[in-house]
A = this chain, B = another copy of it.
Amino acid sequence: MITVPEAKNIINSISFHRRTVKKLLDNAINHTLSTDIHAPIMLPNFSQSAMDGYALHLAPNLKKYLVIDEVQAGSSKNPILQKGEAVRIFTGAAIPSSANAVIMQEKTSVNGKSLTLDYIPPVGKNIRYAGEQIQKGALALGKGTLLTPAAIGFLASLGIETVEVYEKPTVALLITGNELIQRGQSLKHGQIYESNGSMLMGALRQTGFEPSIIQIVPDEYQKTKELLQTQLEAHDFVLVSGGISVGDYDFVGKALLELQTEQIFYKIRQKPGKPMFFGRKGTAFVFALPGNPASALSCYYQYVLTALKRAAGEDNFSLKTIFLPLEKEYIKKGNRAHFLKAKLTAQGVKILHKQSSAMLHSFAKADAMVFIPEEQMQTDTGQLVKVYLLP
């Protein structure tokens, strides 16, 4: 049994197997760069106007200019201005090389070709100089950068069409428990509807992954073992729900052992989710999650997601974490760390009722999890607590 910080440190220190793939930039959102990208051109590629107005060849103390031409955005025109001359210009249009300032049109009055300035702008005013954003050949975005919409836009503006990124890891989802019945059938006494498969598939999709297979594992030792072996050979990650506890019919642990899966850790001093197993076989990793739905989802957010994101190239991934005042005192029972379903409020954060690991009702209303460390038995109203924001 290890502590929460120990479990997190272990996951953060593993070098997960990664594959790279070339993708069209437009299909690379939320992927991570596997190479540095250097700017193939400078940005802007030419000195451009930041305003709709007039480009000027400034003459000392002069307020009246002669408008000799016009440069639209996209035009390759480069009219030659003498001192005291101006051209009509638009946002994004190329500044004539002989102009040295732009005045916005709202600060001028025009009469035919005669332009009168409200004030004399300084040299360089409203000009975005060539190379001001980035020089040709400079590092544009480094290996390991997550491609957000802004990063995609930035690379697009450099003319980049394809990028090399880390592939998302492949994931198999195995669900155990012979009390589980598929929806649509009627329940007999002692049976419940299977829900962890749908829940974990939702969690994977919501966080950028797609399970390639979701399979109900029959409660028989030999079949459990065969299925685990097949999926560990075919996938980067196998997530198992249930079957890892001490019960006589929990076959997953025994099967993983016999398949010579290396145990990285088993059991974390936390509530919910104590009996979580994390192991490795070759380049594949297996998380065996508790069968209680709230425990399974809590373990997904706190551990599995970090491993998947790291495998996808996000070295520094963690759920967004903030410290907020607790709305109402919380007395922790027992000496495990607690992850509590919670909701952000205007004043801070509120721990929700009904924290049982078997219950999803409060989780369905939560947008955050509050972390209470092992040693902290009493947390007072208004005390700052660590809050993980749910995706």
A residues sitting closer than 8 Å to B (CB atoms) are 25-26, 29-30, 41, 43-46, 50, 52, 71-78, 88, 90-94, 105-106, 128, 133-134, 140-141, 145, 147-154, 156-161, 177-180, 183-184, 187-203, 205-206, 219, 245-249, 291-294, 297, 300, 320, 322, 324, 344, 354, 356, 358-361, 363-364, 366, 389-390
Contact = CB atoms under 8 A, between A and B. Distances in A.
List the 10 closest A-B pairs by CB distance, nearest first: A153-B199, A74-B179, A156-B195, A150-B363, A149-B202, A149-B203, A154-B360, A94-B190, A157-B195, A151-B364
A150 B197 CA distance: 11
Q: Helix, strand, loop or mixed for chain A's interface?
A: loop
Contact of A72 (B75, B178, B195): B178
14 contacts: A50-B358, A74-B180, A74-B219, A145-B364, A147-B202, A150-B297, A150-B366, A152-B202, A153-B293, A153-B297, A154-B195, A154-B361, A156-B199, A157-B192
A193 to B, nearest CB: 4
Given A133-B354, A152-B198, A159-B193, 15 more contacts: A30-B206, A41-B187, A52-B248, A73-B177, A73-B178, A73-B179, A75-B179, A88-B248, A92-B177, A92-B179, A92-B291, A134-B361, A149-B297, A150-B199, A157-B192
Contact of A26 (B92, B151, B157, B198): B198
A324 B324 CA distance: 10
Contacts of A73: 177-179, 190, 247, 249
A71 B178 CA distance: 12
A133 B359 contact: yes
Nearest to A186: B159
Contacts of A153: 195-196, 198-199, 202, 293, 297, 360, 363-364
